[in-house]
Structure 1
């Protein structure tokens, strides 16, 4: 059977990776790993035109069946929002501590193979392309700034600081690119060290450009305003939500979670506070891995154990998905994330964890829930299942469609599922789970509050700064009061929210919708509800917007 939608969207995949080799590497599509994209205005123009053409073509096609109609709707929703962002002028100028073309250029090297001399030749070729890529990106940012399209001053300054760490100019970190090639075959070392040094120097120069030329032109305010934020919220959620209602719900949800935290703390230090319980957990040597290497091994053992015990019980896990790699990242920016497997599964799905420079302890009580979120049953089962189901999903759906509200909502749902299944019976691990749940609820509040310029409700359940208008300082103060993160990690997180509007709330809002959808299916099916069947059907939908997700799950 001819499937016109699948055929056109599959062609779009080929067209995209030809112009964007970084996307090819992240998707695990071979043949482009020695190149970098053209990040100049001309390069962006070419990619934008490709996106517009694909959107128009798919819009004109008729789907052959319900499955292809779902694929068409997903493409029109996702790519349509990409075009909206392009038209609004937000795409090229977006620049933050976590998301920019400059970050993507560095991050792509983390995913490159290093087993053979051919692999190292490919790395060398891509390293040699770094200076031109950054020069093109610099030209783009200069054009955008001249037109008044800039990010906040804070983001330019903080990114410049990141780059100094990556290039070994400051801090205890090492030069990222020099370290990358340090284990190359000896006969190739001279050439690789030369291109690595040039790449590092290019990054150092780009950092100086960001701090001395872009920062003075950046916005003083951190918030982006209602119109910009509403579009970003729709993009990250795949749904339109009432922002003020969601803001109020964030306060209610955070208060609920912190009540649960106080009760859980009593199981750790009877009569004590949450802070007393945290202090006890932090001083417990049994909960400290002691080193980055031991922490990496702990993550791997935890993920492998869950994979083995869940298969056939709570999930049906295909053989290629039964492998996950857990790694401590080579950078010190903070955060945890997941990268999907390559299309042929030769590169496994990988969970990454990055420690900040000031990190001293390698505690497990806060990070058990992170393994469930980034690994199993979170992003790994979700993303790897999508890559695997070529029989149900077209190539664009499997390799290029990602909606934060769907994906991060699933990962937070997975943490909640593990609590329901008894995997947080240990009160320390459960306090860590609740701490991160509360952290995500607090992010809903501050993200919407600061970007919309809202006031703190006078009747907020914490009696905190009623009537004051959100700004960057209040965001940091509120997050500090509602989290147990180290200062370096917390600073990175706050800068992330200030520079990446709409993304942080997608976790909690996504979880909310996943739970609502499951409850509706349970109520409809009654005694016939089967959790494993629900999970299989849900993940087989691929990544779709939260509104279509709820509708699709409502038909199960």
Structure 2
């Protein structure tokens, strides 16, 4: 194992050198964007859908304006007279927080245990193995953002959420709550653990390599919204954290499609209306309306340029889940039936991974 690890590290160093010394200079005069035709193929890869890029771009701007209005309302509750960015900065430095990694881990474990206890039997019908999920501290060198790892197929290893500490001792609550509804319960954990539980009814591909990013991230963002709908985000700070996460995902759609498809900021944009969405402008626009760190936002722009089409799947995936739920509810009511949200959730979580085009159709028929 040590020999292979050393060889892998050496190969990575060699790749890094080639990218910086050979590929980078050769690509220096290339455009920063992919172009509409190639971008459409990347979108298909990440979302499993042939999207109308102009419609998705326009829809994301509607979401932007709606979210900005909601954020202003919550910011006023957090700190009277503050705008959203000022309120989030205050929450980050002076708002409620957990001190020490173990205290933060226990807080997050309590969030997930409490969500399972409250949702079980009412909004979900979870098998016993799925009710076990662990909050862990991420090892040094892990990703800078929180993440989730699914349980083993036999559940001998439970699902786990991971909190990177990055040398911190203070962990503000405001953006952790909705993040753990996303990463843990009822987000990634319920979907991926349920796929494992019903693996005998699905193909191995459906529960493993066949995962479609927009389906997975769309469910997790839907899970955050569900907890808001159920009244779990009434604390102004927690709700502002949720809205900021939603805003980040809406901005991703705007920036990613705008850059790669060569679009302009629309006439009703509060930032540079009528100007082209270029990388430098996209970064400044993102930082103006999203309360996350400079380093994180810098890495986000690199992500969009390097993985065209991936980041739009969160918000557009959530839209697909919401459209499927609305269509299923309408169909039940048209037949004079009561829409059973618990049954719909469990049926939806038991069908394995689907692309967004198929997902909406399948969810609507449940």
TM-score, structure 2 normalization: 0.92
Secondary structure of 1:335's counterpart equals coil
Cα 1:446–1:131 change in 2 (3 A) is same
What is the match of residue 501 of structure 1? 308
CA distance in 1, matches of 2:277, 2:245: 22
Secondary structure of 2:360's counterpart equals helix
What is the match of residue 257 of structure 1? 67
Secondary structure of 2:163's counterpart equals strand
CA distance in 2, matches of 1:544, 1:266: 40
Query: Residue 492 in 1 paired to residue 299 in 2?
Result: yes
What is the match of residue 310 of structure 1? 119
What is the match of residue 247 of structure 2? 438
CA contact (8 A) 1:237 1:403 kept: yes
CA contact (8 A) 1:450 1:471 kept: yes
Q: 1 or 2 for the larger relative contact order (CA 8 Å, sep ≥6)?
A: 2
Written as runs of structure 1 = structure 2, the 5 A alignment for 1:79-118 is: none
CA distance in 2, matches of 1:372, 1:129: 37
What is the match of residue 551 of structure 1? 361
- In our comparison, the structure showing a higher alpha carbon Rg is 1
CA distance in 2, matches of 1:363, 1:371: 13
- Residue by residue over 1:125-175, the C-alpha shift from the partner in whole angstroms, topping out at 9 and shown as x without a partner, is 2x422354x4xxxxxxxxxxxxxxxxxxxxxxxxxxxxxxxxxxxxxxxxx
Instruction: Give 1:400 shift.
Output: 2.4
CA contact (8 A) 1:290 1:361 kept: yes
What is the match of residue 521 of structure 1? 328
Stretch of structure 1 that moved more, 407-416 or 517-526: 517-526
- Residue by residue over 1:367-422, the C-alpha shift from the partner in whole angstroms, topping out at 9 and shown as x without a partner, is 21110011100110001100110342122222222011111111111111000000
Structure 2: gaps of 5 or more residues? none
What is the match of residue 177 of structure 2? 368
Query: Residue 284 in 1 paired to residue 62 in 2?
Result: no
Cα 1:343–1:368 change in 2 (3 A) is same
CA distance in 2, matches of 1:332, 1:348: 19
TM-score, structure 1 normalization: 0.62
Query: Residue 533 in 1 paired to residue 343 in 2?
Result: yes
Instruction: Give 1:554 shift.
Output: 2.1
CA distance in 2, matches of 1:222, 1:295: 40
Instruction: Give 1:355 shift.
Output: 5.2
CA contact (8 A) 1:222 1:499 kept: no
CA distance in 2, matches of 1:451, 1:298: 40
Query: Residue 235 in 1 paired to residue 110 in 2?
Result: no
Query: Residue 460 in 1 paired to residue 335 in 2?
Result: no
CA distance in 1, matches of 2:143, 2:364: 40
- Residue by residue over 1:267-303, the C-alpha shift from the partner in whole angstroms, topping out at 9 and shown as x without a partner, is 2223432234224323435x22233343233222211
Instruction: Give 1:500 shift.
Output: 0.8
- Residue by residue over 1:216-242, the C-alpha shift from the partner in whole angstroms, topping out at 9 and shown as x without a partner, is 233543311222210111111111110
CA contact (8 A) 1:332 1:355 kept: no
Cα 1:202–1:293 change in 2 (3 A) is farther
CA distance in 1, matches of 2:160, 2:184: 8
- Residue by residue over 1:292-350, the C-alpha shift from the partner in whole angstroms, topping out at 9 and shown as x without a partner, is 34323322221122123222121111111112222333226422322211122122222
CA distance in 1, matches of 2:169, 2:294: 12
CA distance in 1, matches of 2:329, 2:117: 26
Secondary structure of 1:362's counterpart equals strand
Stretch of structure 1 that moved more, 436-445 or 490-499: 490-499
CA distance in 2, matches of 1:501, 1:410: 21
Q: How many residues matched?
A: 361
CA distance in 1, matches of 2:209, 2:114: 29
Instruction: Give 1:542 shift.
Output: 1.0
Instruction: Give 1:443 shift.
Output: 0.5
CA distance in 2, matches of 1:413, 1:204: 39
Cα 1:454–1:356 change in 2 (3 A) is farther
CA distance in 2, matches of 1:250, 1:216: 35
Instruction: Give 1:263 shift.
Output: 1.1
Instruction: Give 1:205 shift.
Output: 4.8
CA contact (8 A) 1:333 1:355 kept: no
C-alpha RMSD of matched pairs (Å): 2.1
Instruction: Give 1:204 shift.
Output: 4.3
What is the match of residue 35 of structure 2? 225
Structure 1: gaps of 5 or more residues? 1-124, 135-198
What is the match of residue 351 of structure 1? 161
What is the match of residue 19 of structure 2? 210
CA contact (8 A) 1:289 1:362 kept: yes
